[in-house]
Each structure stands twice: as structure tokens, then as C-alpha cells.
Structure 1
């Protein structure tokens, strides 16, 4: 990752300088004069960095949120490219060797993830030096959310991920990447357990993100992906399923799904009314999640969390936590199939009115005594529906041993920008 460190430093300081300039009405700052000491040693400067993290993740076509949803969605047949002039989306549609290290969507996910990790580390490592430990706790917890998500994205899309940021860094296994995300979260949880997040900090960041619940939800997600089912179950049980944790948008920061895809109808849209599912995984007739996520406007169009300019996008869905519990019960060392079925039926029978986001299947309960494999098959099916356009399906397809022919790639090649500057870059996967 040659030269990335200096580049990220410049981006971070310029961003923070602009934040500082706008925050103090009677203070005139030179945006080119913000030094590392100025930015990383003050609560105001560190707040600017962590607010920038959220913006870099959740807004624009270059943001990690939109890029990862597109990369995952096209690869797993959730989404289709609808304009042949969009070369990079079209190559993802073709899949296989047509996706190489030049693909700008692949590069975007890689670069955005690594930049977020770098900036988050600056916040986490410097906030500990602040005198106000409650404000510092907020900074560390908020930045840790985005670092964990970035680590998770790298680990979902690549076989190996960078061990850090710098010249010719080494690489670690993707499983270690998930565990690194978990360690980041647990550090944040220990910090806020010792010093509660100050209300002053919460008043200085965008509204919507429920930090404690999001930390537990992400820990549950990545523990599941890492095969740590006991931890996944414990973390999922700690999430308050009545609460919302969302990215909120305004006139300056638009919902990226609506801005780029829904409003233009020129980039991606759902593949079909079945969300790209085939065979036994096709949604049941009457599944109320289909009209939530899709709408017919001549063709199948995006609805749900991409329906409007200011539509909020969840950091996680309550239904994801319920499905994690169901899966963890099946996959733990001593399977508990009865509890797994109970959790799965909570999801299957839930109506839109019973969900904080209005996501509900409203289907009859599953009856009988399903086997472990039957339950896993049903959990996979309902993850594909409940978590449509969440960016998680590719990881699910691998974990549930779905046929390789059902996806366009299994893992992604490393961007040429990385390979050309880092001699430790691993060999590309064959598929």
C-alpha cells in the first residue's frame, strides 16, 4: 500500500480543517494550516475526523456503503446493471475473468475500506489522550463502528486482507480480519463501559446511529461469519430489537441508493420480483417483504431503503439479529433445533407493523420438527429476502455452500493499484 499513508493523512487533515472552519463562526482558520497536532490532539479535530468517517462510508457513489451494496448485489444476482455503458457494472454482470484489478467498483471498495481503517485508527489511538474520558469514549466507539465495518467488507470480498496501512504491508487471512473487527468492537465496548459516552459528543455527530446496539449487532454479525456461534448468540441477544440505528440524510448528504440508482434508473435495479432467488429459495406467495423492497414501475425498481432522497438506511436490521440467533442455535456444538425454529418463526410470522423498519414477511409459522439441514436451508432463504441489498449475501452463499454457478465470483482479485505498489499482494483467486 505504497504512499497510502501520506495520502490518507492529507485527506484527513483537509477534511478536518473544513469541519473546523464551519464549526466556529468567528474563528478564521487556514484550511491548509491544520497540522497533525491540531487535528489529532483536540476533541474538535477528532470529531471532525469521525464525522468524516460516517460521511465517507454512507454517502455518494464513492462511499463504501453504495459501492459494497453494488459489488455484492450484482455478484449474487440481487441486482442487475441496466446500462451497457456502465462498463464496470457490466463486467461484474459478466463475472469470472471479466472482473479484474482494473474494475473501479472493486477498487472503490478496497480503497474506501482501507482509508476508513486508517482514519478510524487515528481517532481511536489519539482519543485516549483527551482529558474528557466520556467524550473520548464516544469518539472511540463511533470510529470503531466504521473500522469494524471496513474490516468486515474487506474480509467478505477478499481471501486475504492487509495487516495494516503502510509500505509493503503483509496480509492476514480473512477469518483473522473478522476477528480483528470483533476485537475492535470489544475494545470500544470496554471503553464505554468504563466511561459512558457524553451527551456533548452525541450532540456533535449526525443523529441516528445507536452506538451501543450497533456495536453488539456488528459483533454478532462478524462472530457468526468467523464461526464463533456462542459469541454471535450472546451479542445478538444483547441487541434491543425495538430500537433503530440508521444513517440519516439531508439536502447536502443524500441517500446514495436513491441519488445514484433509484432516481436515475440508470445504474442498477433488482433483478426481478423474486430478488434474484431461484428454485426453493423463491419467496413465498404473499411475502410482504417483496413489496417493501421492490415496486413495479414498468420494470422492477428499488423500493425500501432507497425509495427517496432522505430515506434512512439501517446499519443493521432487527431481523438480522433474529436470523443470527436461529443459525447460531443450529450450528453450535450441541444444536438446539427447537430454539432455532422458535427464532425463525419470529421472523417468518412478523408483520411489517411489528418491525421498527416495517420489514415483515407476515407468513404462517413453520410447523413440524425440521432437521438441522432443513432449518439451515430456510435460514439461508430468509436471509436472502430479509437482508436484501444489505451487502451480506456473498458471504452467506459461501457459508451455506450454495453452488458456485449461482454467483459471478467467489472472491475478488486484488486491485492493480495495490499489486503495483505492494510486493506482498497475494495471488488472485481463480474465481
Structure 2
């Protein structure tokens, strides 16, 4: 019954999703329920959140795996007829404002932020504060993820979503806004715990509180706030997982478009696209987790892991990511704490798959970096392996100062669709 309710509500919510056509950003559909009707009820708001999740997973999360994988050499292009992917695979100035996938990521991330803001505002007016906390918490997760995507891909981000000629701020301001949204949600939940009624209505698989702290740790790290990153990471229960679940009617987007077709991209090989100096050990069990071998039909290496079936769940965060955030936070202190940094790093290096909530484990002997630089190199290496195709590698390459020769873009150009409708759109980055 729950799934039927969700599908029915979602089908009536097209009015609340951005339909950005031409120069004017028009978010209404005269044939659908009005936003006032839908946003005034708890069940209506749940339907909106279900729709937001679908928009995020099918467009933003999928686009990040696609674009980041190709520009950072995690994957290679199979079919040059895929125009957007060919631009990413070529890199440099070949990636321009005509890129359809980037345009879709930009529009969809904006849509998620806009709809999430509507949910958060409307939920705050509900009389059931425990139910409202759940709505605000989950909508804030999707909002923060989308802001984080835009901050990771573009040099500047819009200050306001849903208006013409929005102004822009530095992408670090974007991360700060994502963190602020998370903090507001945490405060709301601390004041009124999420009700069991909402948890029953929430799409299965999502752990709201752990995800909020995990994303706060992620974006504090990306903002170079290592004290804040460590504090947030320490709030995450590593025995828990939080995932987007899929079903036949709403399949895993990467499996549906990539794995099942073998017509877009596949893993480079067992190196996962890393240079020899940081490539995975041959006995690293994360390689067969993320890849599988086709001994008959090329390419030999194929996607596995979170993209091997239509119903395979995709994580919102990774337990190993949290340990690596802690390790990096210790390593980047003004006086590096090598002891604790190495302890956290080796939690990932030595972890057995059976001891990870997501089944990811290198199962290798511990490592013993001698200097902070050595420790950071091992953290980078393990982030690339542990978080393969998560969409975070491009940000990591910039943060760790990897040579630009290892990637094909640094930041992305703005879609022509945005530039044509917004006179304030910034100049494109050179690379």
C-alpha cells in the first residue's frame, strides 16, 4: 500500500518540479495539483520528497558518476556516438556549454534544491512536529547533495534558485550553504525526534540522522574545515548504512543506462584508472567488488558493485569514507596527528568485506606511512578505491593537488541554457 500511495502522489506532482524552458524559469503545470494543495498535507509532502529523490538519483547522481568517471579516468568511453560522454572523454575545451548531460545535472540539481526548499518551508507549518522533522531532515539531505554537486562541478554557484538573473558566489559558499541546511535539519530533529509514522512512510533504506552527519563531515572536509569534519564524522554510526533503493519500475540508473547496455562506459581495468604509484594492490578485495571480468566479450572489465542489477542500492555515504575523513582531518591539522591518522586509515586498509555495512573491504595488511605527506598520499589512494565512481574523485584530485595530467577537466563550463537566460552567468573556467 505504501508504494502505491507514493506512486500515486508522485504522478500528481509534476507541478512542483522545475520545467525550465526558454529564458523564464516556470515551475508550474496548469494540469496538475496546485502547490498549495499538495504542500498543505503531510502525505502530499511525502509524495514530493519521493519525487525529489527520483529526480536526484536519476539525473544528478547518475550524471556525477558519468561525468566524473570519464574526466578522472575511472572509466573509458565505449561508444563515441554518446556526444556528452565523448566530450568528457576528450576533455579540455571539448567540454563546452552544449553538453547535454551537464545541462541536465545543472537543471536537475536546481530542481531538487527548489522543491526541497518548498518541502522544508511547508513542513515547518505542520502540527505534527515529529513528522515535520523527518520531512525536513530528508529534504535537507537531497538539497545538500545537490548543492554539493554544483559546488563540486562549477567555479561559482547560484545564490538563489528559481528566479531569473540570479547572482553567483564562489563554490566554497555553496558548500557552506549545504552545511547550513544540514545544521538546520539537525537542530530541528534534536528539538523534535523523527516520528515512527514518518519513518514508515519514508522510502526504505535511508538513515536520516547518520546521513546528515556524514554529509556534514564530507562538506566540512571539502571546505578545509578539518575540526568540523572530524566532529561531524565522530557522530556517524559506522555500523549503519543509508542507501537509495530501487525496484523494477524505478531501476538503478547506472545499471539501466550503462551496465545493462554495455554501450556507454566501463572501468578502465583493475587499476580503477589510478597511476602505478597509487594503483590498488593486486590482492585488494575492493577491485573485484567494484569490477567483474567478462572473459568472452570485450571490454574485459565491467562494472560490478552498486551497479550490477536493476535493484542494487546506491549509498548516500560510505562507512569507509567516514574513517578516511577522520584520517585526513588528523593528517591536515596544523600539527599533524600521524598516530590517529594512521589508525583511521588502517581501519579501511585492513577492513574485511564482512565487517563493512556495504560489503566493501580491502582486507590488506596495515600500512605505516612515516610522514604527513605519505599519510595523505595513502588517504588519497584509498579514497579513490573505496569511493570508486561515487562522483567525488574530481574534488579529491583538486584537494590533494594531483597533476592536471591525471584529469581531463578541473571545473566545468556553464550550460548554454543557463548562460542564455541569465546575464549574470560567470565566465567559464579555462580548464
Q: TM-score, normalised by structure 1?
A: 0.92
Q: Secondary structure at the match of 1:140?
A: helix
Residue matched to 1:242: 239
Q: Which residue of 2 aligns with 1:94?
A: 90
1:121-140 equivalent positions in 2, closer than 5 A: 121-140=117-136
From 282, 285, 289, the equivalent of 2:286 is: 289
Aligned position for 2:151: 155
Is the Cα–Cα contact under 8 Å of residues 124 and 143 in structure 1 kept in the other structure? yes
Distance 1:172 1:149 in 2: 18
Q: Does 1:213 align with 2:210?
A: yes
Cross-structure match for 1:40: 39
Equivalents in 2 of 1:405, 1:384: separation in Å? 16
1:386 matched to which residue of 2? Answer: 386
Is the 8 Å Cα contact of residues 290 and 305 (structure 2) preserved in structure 1?
yes
Report the equivalent of 1:259. 256
User: For residues 230 and 260 of structure 1, what CA distance do their matches in structure 2 show?
Assistant: 40
Alignment partners' CA distance in 2, 1:172 and 1:17: 26
Q: How does 1:7-406 map to 2 (within 5 A)?
A: 14-15=13-14, 32=31, 34-59=33-58, 63-165=59-161, 166-298=163-295, 299-367=300-368, 370-406=370-406
**Aligned-pair distance for 1:31?**
9.1
| Shift in Å, 1:163 | 0.4
Distance, in Å, in 1 between the alignment partners of 2:93 and 2:146 is 25
Distance 1:289 1:17 in 2: 40
Matches of 1:16 and 1:110 in 2, distance apart?
19
Alpha-carbon distance in structure 2 between the residues aligned to 1:339 and 1:12: 50
Q: CA RMSD in A?
A: 1.7
Q: Does the 8 Å CA contact 1:274/1:282 hold for their aligned counterparts?
A: yes
Q: Report the alpha carbon displacement of residue 237 of structure 1 after superposing the two structures with TM.
A: 0.9
- Which residue matches 1:410? 410
- Provide structure 2 residue ranges, at least 5 long, that are not aligned to the other structure: 1-9, 18-28
Quote how far apart the aligned CAs of 1:205 are.
Answer: 2.2
User: Alpha-carbon deviation of 1:15?
Assistant: 3.2
Contact kept in structure 2, 1:163 and 1:169, CA below 8 Å: yes
SS class of match (2:169): strand
In 2, Cα distance between the equivalents of 1:229 and 1:334?
A: 12
How many angstroms apart in 1 are the aligned matches of 2:52 and 2:177? 19
- The equivalent of 1:420 in structure 2 is 420
| Structure 1: distance between partners of 2:32 and 2:414 | 36
Deviation track 1:16-69 (CA, whole Å, cap 9, x = no partner) reads 799xxxxxxxxxxx993512211122212211111111111123xxx2111111
Q: TM-score with structure 2 length normalisation?
A: 0.92
Deviations 1:106-139 (A, max 9, x none): 1111111111000000001111111111111111
* Contact preservation (8 Å) 1:15, 1:49: no
Contact persistence 1:50–1:123 (CA under 8 A): yes
Alpha-carbon deviation of 1:371?
0.3
The 2-side partners of 1:58 and 1:208 are apart by 14
1:196–1:57 CA distance, 2 compared to 1 (3 A): same
Unaligned runs of 5+ in 1: 1-10, 19-29
Aligned residues: 406
Distance 1:377 1:17 in 2: 45
Q: How far, CA to CA, are the matches of 2:196 and 2:30 in structure 1?
A: 28
Distance in 2 of aligned mates of 1:260 and 1:266? 8
Q: Distance in 2 between matches of 1:301 and 1:220?
A: 31
CA contact (8 A) 2:352 2:362 kept: yes
